[in-house]
Structure 1
Amino acid sequence: MSAASWRAHFTFNKYTSIAARATREVLKEEQRATAERRGYMALRYQEWKEGKAGDNVNMAEAEKKQQQ
């Protein structure tokens, strides 16, 4: 089996995501919380209609509003 056999099943981003999650899971609670905050990424998107930009939406902020 070659060292890059993961390529047959995952994209590189998926592979690194799985490896990062496995690494965070073995940390002690305090270090795990810090690592999870550092690993969190916020997605932003903007819809375009008829050649004009819509509002810029931050998914992290939208998710927080829904939880409240």
Structure 2
Amino acid sequence: MQAIELHTTIDENHQIHLQLPEDYPPQAAKVIVLLETISPVPSKKRQFGQFKGKIHMADDFDAPLPDEFWLGEAR
């Protein structure tokens, strides 16, 4: 598989138009669209304390991990 980079724009009909260089033979191709800019999605204002009582920390959360974890033997 070979990758090439082509620049185009999305028109008002939500379509893109691509023109490959002449030296590319007819063959199957896969097109992946990477958007350069994305419109920001408005977010709701965060409310202080909205998750109060929903998150619990274990008493030993900062205890050292056993050697089995670091050696990849933990299950």
Mark yes or no: TM-score above 0.5. Answer: no
Normalising to structure 2: TM-score of the pair? 0.18
Normalising to structure 1: TM-score of the pair? 0.19
